[in-house]
Amino acid sequence: MKRVFLIVLDSVGIGEMPDASNYGDEGSHTVFAASHSKDFFMPNMKKLGFFQLDGMKVDKQHTWVNTKEAMQGAICRLSEKSKGKDTTTGHWEIAGMISEEPMPTFPDGFPRDLIERFEERTGRKILCNKPYSGTEVIKDFGKEHMETGALIVYTSADSVFQIAAHESIVPIETLYQYCEIARELCQGPYGVGRIIARPFEGEWPFQRTARRHDYSLQPPKDTMLDILKAKGKDVLAVGKINDIFAGKGITQMVRTEDNRDGIEKTLSFMEKDFHGICFTNLVDFDMKYGHRNDIEGYANALSYFDKRLPEILGKLQEDDLLMITADHGCDPSTPSTDHSREYIPLVMAGKGIKPVNLGTRDGFGDIAATILESLGIEGNIDGESFWKDIADL
């Protein structure tokens, strides 16, 4: 292969892992939950074999799923070896690095000494400081923020330190500077996976803007991206991929506003001549729908991606490999609005890929190992390649 297009459908899990009870996620199945909507429709992913994955199930109203047809892609289900269920650990493992220890979470809010140091560095007081829904927190604390200029700091069940501010009170570049300060402070025992800027605008109850920005820890060791870059290959990052890896191993990046924009920018890269990988994250599934328990929105987002899939497939060249996967679950039907510990799908297509179901494999890192071998590159990562099982050699 010359080019690999790796697309992460953020949070599109396909059923609870055996250790889901350790995370409070028994019974989670994100795709099944979304399929309860009458708008759920993914015929193009079906052609590639999506609904033949181990553990896949959909609501019985969708009889079109049951019609038999030959699978056109290669598929497998992957379990996570890392300790956690967040975006950072999921993507790092996809890139070939297992996180042996979970990143710290703060279910009771951040320690007072950390907050005091953050207040001193920013010159602003802090509101909230506890786990909260991103839409509810600006509704409940937004007015006080507007009156006082204090920053809204909150977390979730994930390893995140989130800072919300109205763009008329805190200019976006200033908010980003505050996030950089928080990233400096949140190290060691306070080393959350991500600092997230959460700007909002308008009148109460306010609306979040598309100018979110994530500040991740740097991966502590080299990933597939570093190996590719060191070999002179292109590593193109679309969406929040650059943020997740703190720029490490990236040769070119573009930000995105939503799934539509992410797909458009991926299609744009497909028009270019490069040698390496285009790594895309489509965030709407998770950010807009999973965390808000919006089953209808989630189903429509899946259906929209499926509708755009023929455009992506149509731009694949002879020596291209397409991989569609996820990083964790975020079941929109459970009482929780947080991520869920689920298996992830891997659906692959390309002119040199044969249709095969590889069942269930242990570790997201097999994706990285397979990508490296498909590009003819050796590297020491946490994963096992299955390239020879899918390549039509």
Domains recognised in the chain with CATH numbers: 3-103+217-390 (3.40.720.10), 112-216 (3.30.70.1250)
Q: Is the pLDDT of residue 55 over 90?
A: yes
Can you list the positions of beta strands (E) in the chain? 3-9, 74-79, 126-131, 151-155, 160-166, 194-201, 207-208, 213-216, 234-238, 252-254, 276-282, 320-325, 344-349, 356-362
Percent of the chain with pLDDT over 90: 96
Q: Are 295 and 33 in contact (CB under 8 A)?
A: yes
In this prediction, residues 124-134 reach a mean pLDDT of 96
**pLDDT tens profile 240-257:** 999 999 999 999 999 999
Q: Is the pLDDT of residue 210 over 90?
A: no
pTM of the model: 0.91
Q: Are 127 and 213 in contact (CB under 8 A)?
A: no
Confidence of residue 78 (pLDDT cuts 50, 70, 90): very high
In this prediction, residues 99-125 reach a mean pLDDT of 96
Amino acid symbol at 214: D
Report the first-to-last Cα separation within the chain, whole angstroms: 11
Q: How far apart, in whole angstroms, are the C-alpha atoms of residue 214 and residue 281?
A: 13
Q: Is the pLDDT of residue 82 over 90?
A: yes
| pLDDT for residue 391 | 97
Q: Are 248 and 278 in contact (CB under 8 A)?
A: no
Q: Is the pLDDT of residue 213 over 80?
A: yes
**pLDDT tens profile 256-265:** 999 999 999 9
Confidence of residue 158 (pLDDT cuts 50, 70, 90): confident
Confidence of residue 73 (pLDDT cuts 50, 70, 90): very high
Q: How far apart, in whole angstroms, are the C-alpha atoms of residue 4 and residue 225?
A: 12
Q: Is the pLDDT of residue 393 over 80?
A: no
Q: Is the pLDDT of residue 329 over 80?
A: yes
Confidence of residue 274 (pLDDT cuts 50, 70, 90): very high
Confidence of residue 69 (pLDDT cuts 50, 70, 90): confident
Q: Which residue is it, tokens 């995105």?
A: 256
* Residues in CB range of 79: below 8 A, 6 or more apart: 17, 18, 343, 360, 361, 362, 363
| pLDDT for residue 271 | 98
**pLDDT tens profile 301-319:** 999 999 999 999 999 999 9
Per-chain mean pLDDT for the chain: 96
Q: Are 30 and 339 in contact (CB under 8 A)?
A: no
| pLDDT for residue 253 | 98
Q: How far apart, in whole angstroms, are the C-alpha atoms of residue 375 and residue 385?
A: 12
SS3 state of residue 252: strand
